[in-house]
Amino acid sequence: MASRESSVTNGDSSASISPYDCIFEGCQLPVCLRSETMDEEEWPMAEIISKKCDSNGQWRFYVHYNSYNKRLDEWVTADKLDIDHIQLPRKESKSQTSTAAAALIKNTSRAVSPDVTISGASSPLPSSGETVISSSRRSSVALGRKRKNENDNSSEPVGGESSPAQLPPQTGSMHRPIGTHASDDVVTRMKNIEMLELGRHRIKPWYFSPYPQELTTEPVIYLCEFCLKYMKSLTCLARHRTKCNIFHPPGNEIYRKDTISFFEIDGRKNKAYSQNLCLLAKLFLDHKTLYYDTDPFLFYIMTEYDEHGFHIVGYFSKEKESSEDYNVACILTLPCYQRKGYGKLLIEFSYELSKIEGKTGSPEKPLSDLGLLSYRSYWTQTLLEVLINMKNQEDETIPFVTINELCEQTSIRKDDVTSTLQYHNLIHYYKGQYVISLSNEILEHHERSMAKRKIRIDPKCIQWTPKDWSRRGKW
Ligand code: ACO
Ligand code: ZN
């Protein structure tokens, strides 16, 4: 693959003639990609989102690798571009979205009878089948939601240091709302915060979040790890900490076991915290729209305790009233804590709350690529746990179970139960009824996975009574 050295030494970034005039927004070309997890460099096709010339005359191009998630988008120098294979933008290519999640979404609507039998017979598992998330629409809801009138700007950010007038566009959506200008789209498609310091962690953001403009030029922004207020310097943070005396998130601690706690926060009562949390979360959530009205949401913050306080690990939000029975709106494990089982702990907690409510629930769709992996893994492990327990209890006979019973025991919604069973090819139609068969392979895989799942939610440690929000005049 050809690569080109940048021989440009034009120090004037405002010069009207650039040697890279032929490379502009919307062009596609192979770009050298070498991520931390890759041994060798690759040259996938990428789209030019923007370009700039820095004070040294070095041209940089912001690229999106077409078949990769946007969190890999980055500024690259000209030598990483294979200019020989450039393709000019086609008109329709502007509207294309190419997230990994979108590529995974497929509609399947195979009906499954509610009555099934579990048998010990083996089947070729697990299959490499496809996902059965049934919706590919992009969510317009999430971190906070605008109510009733979408154009109502009455809810304003109160948590940070800036007024809303200083903020970039107030939707953090990655798709362009009707009537907005193309340049807004370019702004929100690019990461705008270089680095984040939160307690003892430095975290590299994945996506755009509408932090005030003046913070976007700082090499690092600093967040108070307890109230999540954002600041542009360590000095500001130190000054802030002399006034901010909290060592845990606001709200009620509704769970504590060992070092793990959960705090419930009402988006109406703790608006500043909720808005700061949403701004932070947006840095890692691509497919959700950010609005400033957090009133309709509850936020469940998971913390880890040490002698310095209760440190935020992740959270999920939940609508006070969900017409579609969603039990999670957004879910996030901060990157410094990811892939350690905390995501599944958050998911488990959300289903424990649903069990207390006596409801089934489901996460709001569409899921992100990582959201889908985590939920599918949780659903699989939870259903297998129930099925294996049933089988162990009834050694001689083949146990019978209905899909509804599985839903009741787990609080997982019916479509998620059936899609999980289908995904792993566990359910078959046999002699007039549905049969779930668990192969040795899947049983062994499950045993290994459960051995790794060290931290679990202990339902006895939850101190929480659900509120009936529909009976309240106001959230
Ligand atoms: N690559 C491959 N597999 C992964 C990855 C990854 N980067 N991250 C998680 N997984 C898998 C894990 O292997 C695990 O499965 P396994 O136990 O079967 O091996 C499963 O996902 C869960 O892993 P956890 O460690 O419990 O989850 P984690 O703490 O990493 O959090 C989460 C998962 C919350 C999705 C996290 O990746 C995140 O915050 N991502 C950014 C925000 C996001 O996408 N949220 C979901 C949006 S959808 C919604 O909000 C409803
Ligand atoms: Zn603070």
379 vs 436, residue with greater confidence: 379
In terms of Cβ atoms closer than 10 Å to its own Cβ (0-12, 13-18, 19+), residue 448 is exposed
Query: Tell me, what's the pLDDT at 371?
Result: 97
Query: Tell me, what's the pLDDT at 335?
Result: 98
For the chain, the domains span 27-80, 191-366, 378-459
| Count of CB atoms situated within 10 Å of the CB of 290 | 24
- Would you place residue 134 in the very low, low, confident or very high pLDDT band (cuts 50, 70, 90)? very low
The per-residue pLDDT for range 10-44, each reduced to its tens digit, is 334 444 567 788 899 999 999 999 766 667 788 99
Query: Tell me, what's the pLDDT at 430?
Result: 84
The per-residue pLDDT for range 387-424, each reduced to its tens digit, is 998 877 756 677 888 999 999 999 999 999 999 999 99
Where do the H-state alpha helices sit in 97-154? 100-104
Query: Tell me, what's the pLDDT at 365?
Result: 92
Protein residues with CB under 6 Å of any ligand 1 atom: 284-285, 328, 330-333, 338-344, 363-364, 367-368, 370-371, 373-374, 377, 449
Among all bound ligands, the one having the nearest atom to the CA of 330 is 1
Classified by CATH at the fold level, domain 191-366 comes out as Aminopeptidase (3.40.630)
Surrounding ion ligand 2 within 5 Å at CB are: 224, 227, 244
Residue 7 pLDDT greater than 90, yes or no: no
Sign of CA dihedral 77, 80, 85, 89: negative
Eight-class DSSP state of 361? B
Residue 237 pLDDT greater than 50, yes or no: yes
pTM of the model: 0.80
| Count of CB atoms situated within 10 Å of the CB of 78 | 20
Q: 124 alpha carbon to ligand 2 midpoint, in Å?
A: 54
Can you tell me the mean pLDDT for 239-255?
A: 96
The per-residue pLDDT for range 139-165, each reduced to its tens digit, is 322 343 434 333 333 333 333 433 333
Architecture of the domain made up of 27-80? Roll (2.30)
Distance CA 445, CA 459 (A): 26
Closest among 450, 470, 345, 344 to 389, alpha carbons compared: 450
Among all bound ligands, the one having the nearest atom to the CA of 276 is 2
Strands (E), 211-341: 221-223, 230-231, 252-257, 260-266, 289-290, 297-306, 309-319, 326-328, 331-333
Closest ligand 1 atom to residue 338 Cα is 30
Can you tell me the mean pLDDT for 43-65?
A: 92
- Which protein residue has the closest C-alpha to ligand 1 atom 36? 333
**For helices 369-393 and 414-423, angle between their N-to-C axes, nearest 10 degrees:** 90
Under 8 Å between Cβ of 265 and 274: yes
Residue with the two structure tokens 């919706």? 135
Query: Tell me, what's the pLDDT at 475?
Result: 63
Query: Tell me, what's the pLDDT at 433?
Result: 84
Beta bridge partners of 203: 196
CATH class of 378-459: mainly alpha
Q: Which residues contact 306 (CB under 8 A, 6 or more apart)?
A: 259
Q: 69 alpha carbon to ligand 1 midpoint, in Å?
A: 14
Q: Which residues contact 168 (CB under 8 A, 6 or more apart)?
A: 187, 188, 192, 210, 213
